[in-house]
Amino acid sequence: MDVVEISEAADDIKELDDDLKPARTDDIKELDDDLKPARTGNVFNATAHVVTAVIGSGVLGLPWSIAQLGWVAGVIMLVFFALATLYTSALLADCYRDPVTGKRSYTYMDAVNCHLGKKQVYLCAIAQYLNLLCTSIGYTITTATSMVAVKRALCFHTNGHDAHCHVSNIPWMIVFGGIQIFLSQLPDFSHLKFVSIVAAIMSAIYSFIGVGLSIARMAIRNVSGPVWGTQLSPAAKTWSVFQALGNIAFAYSFSMVLIEIQDTLRGTPKYAPETVTMKKGTKWGIGITTAFYTSVGCLGFAAFGQHAPGSVEGIQSSVKGTKLFHTKN
């Protein structure tokens, strides 16, 4: 047997497994430690998911919320809730793995079961699913209301501000609900990367629209809100302040999906652990969100003062006499 034959025989041996059967083609390196397909998410994906989860209908009411609190307290509360969200998100990210066994938690309730025990899971399930239900209802109503506002704006633009532009929000609720049912069939967040990126871009777009409308208003009429917010009776002021704080807190909420986002991230010795990646993504996401929130809230308040509308889509009906929405002056 010459050297060539020996070399060919050695190559044949390499193509066999230890049981002398043809080598299996499935590469164990493509699996994570829980024998599931390797996660591929990175900081960019985590940031996109966080921005998508955080920037939602809560941004629509920020001008009104800042109007109730005023320049000083309003800005302070925006920063405070941003830092509070960042801190609590870091704590929750640390709960992704069991501190003893290193086992992953795939959902929020898995993390509760791991760290607090099975009894707390039932309470968590009630709280989380009730939260998801109410949030879904809120988003459905807000989406329909926003689409109706767009349709009305187009109607006013075409027919004049005195036109009768009644639009039903029921069809938009049905359309939005159908889209949500379709998206809910996707297995996990790893299949929603593209949707999250598109949604993050859309969030930026409608935030910039709100900023643009506020600037347009300021160009027409220079309005500056009072330093300490709206002037109301003590009882009404107290109620409006607490409502404004609730709006800001709701605008930053995304803890219900943080664990699911983290479960899509890559974490190996070669790369940063998924906890580190999640914390970096959260910092970027909360930072971007705070910049948007501050711009929309403060510019909306500066443009409309204590008469800031309850939602961004209400701004379009307040910008009268401009070429943005009307053909007649």
Give residue for tokens 């080598």.
Answer: 23
Range in 21-30, 81-90, 166-175, 312-321 the model is least confident about: 312-321
pLDDT at 218 over 70: yes
- Rounded CA gap, 139 and 57, in Å? 7
51 pLDDT band (50/70/90 cuts)?
confident
Range in 145-159, 186-200, 247-261 the model is least confident about: 186-200
pLDDT of residue 286: 93
Cβ-count burial of 173 within 10 angstroms (0-12 exposed, 13-18 middle, 19+ buried)? middle
Mean pLDDT of 286-311: 82
Question: 0.75 exceeded by the pTM?
Answer: no
- Using left for φ > 0, alpha for ψ between -120 and 50, and beta otherwise, residue 293 falls in alpha
pLDDT at 155 over 80: yes
pLDDT of residue 284: 94
Name the H helices within 30-117.
43-54, 62-93, 108-116
What tens digit of pLDDT does each residue of 83-130 get?
999 999 999 999 988 888 888 888 888 888 888 888 888 888 888 888
Give residue for tokens 């991230």.
Answer: 265
Cβ-count burial of 136 within 10 angstroms (0-12 exposed, 13-18 middle, 19+ buried)? middle
Q: How far is CA 208 from the centre of its chain?
A: 16
Range in 118-122, 148-152, 173-177, 183-187 the model is least confident about: 183-187
pLDDT of residue 201: 78
- Rounded CA gap, 312 and 315, in Å? 5
- Rounded CA gap, 124 and 131, in Å? 10
pLDDT of residue 16: 60
Residue 265's DSSP bridge partners are: 41
312 pLDDT band (50/70/90 cuts)?
low
pLDDT of residue 216: 81
- Using left for φ > 0, alpha for ψ between -120 and 50, and beta otherwise, residue 70 falls in left
pLDDT at 5 over 60: no
Mean pLDDT of 46-70: 83
- Rounded CA gap, 296 and 248, in Å? 12
Considering Cα of 206, then 208, then 211, then 217, what sign does the dihedral take? Answer: negative
320 pLDDT band (50/70/90 cuts)?
very low
Range in 50-64, 213-227, 232-246 the model is least confident about: 213-227
Considering Cα of 129, then 132, then 138, then 143, what sign does the dihedral take? Answer: negative
What tens digit of pLDDT does each residue of 179-212 get?
888 877 877 655 666 776 777 777 778 778 778 8
Q: Say which residue, 295 or 197, is predicted with more confidence.
A: 295
- Rounded CA gap, 298 and 257, in Å? 28
- Rounded CA gap, 323 and 329, in Å? 8
String of DSSP letters for 255-292: GGGHHHHHTTB---SSS--HHHHHHHHHHHHHHHHHHH
Q: Where are the domains of the chain?
A: 41-103+188-318
